[in-house]
Amino acid sequence: MTSRLIAASVSLLIGLFLTWGTGVFPTPFETIQIDVITYGAPLTYSTRVIPTLFITYNWLNLVLDLAFWVITTYLILAVVLRTSPKNKTD
């Protein structure tokens, strides 16, 4: 039970960092116009218009992006913890 709680908290922390990290750099996957830059992956949650500093946030996409990274990280940690060999002290 405690290993699941630790894996969940670690995956939440890693998910927060991945969501923040994908929001720092422009998204190469999606282009709207020449004057607009989008941020966030796999879901675009921030849009910036170039001539001004006007930034809009799509809060639903931000929450879904965070949930995606948390669930993905948790599944990876669960597989790694489940398949790692146990240390036996004989």
- The kind and range of the H/E element at 36 are strand 36-39
Looking at the structure of the chain, the number of domains it has is 1
Domain-located, residue 54: yes
Question: Which DSSP category does 86 fall into?
Answer: P
Q: What is the pLDDT of residues 59-87, one digit of tens each?
A: 999 999 999 999 999 999 888 888 877 76
Could you tell me the residue range of the domain that residue 61 belongs to? 28-83
Check: CB of residue 29 under 8 Å from CB of residue 55: no
Q: Which residues pair with 56 in a beta bridge?
A: 47
Question: Which DSSP category does 35 fall into?
Answer: T
Domain-located, residue 38: yes
Q: Which residues pair with 26 in a beta bridge?
A: 39
pTM of the model: 0.76
Domain-located, residue 3: no
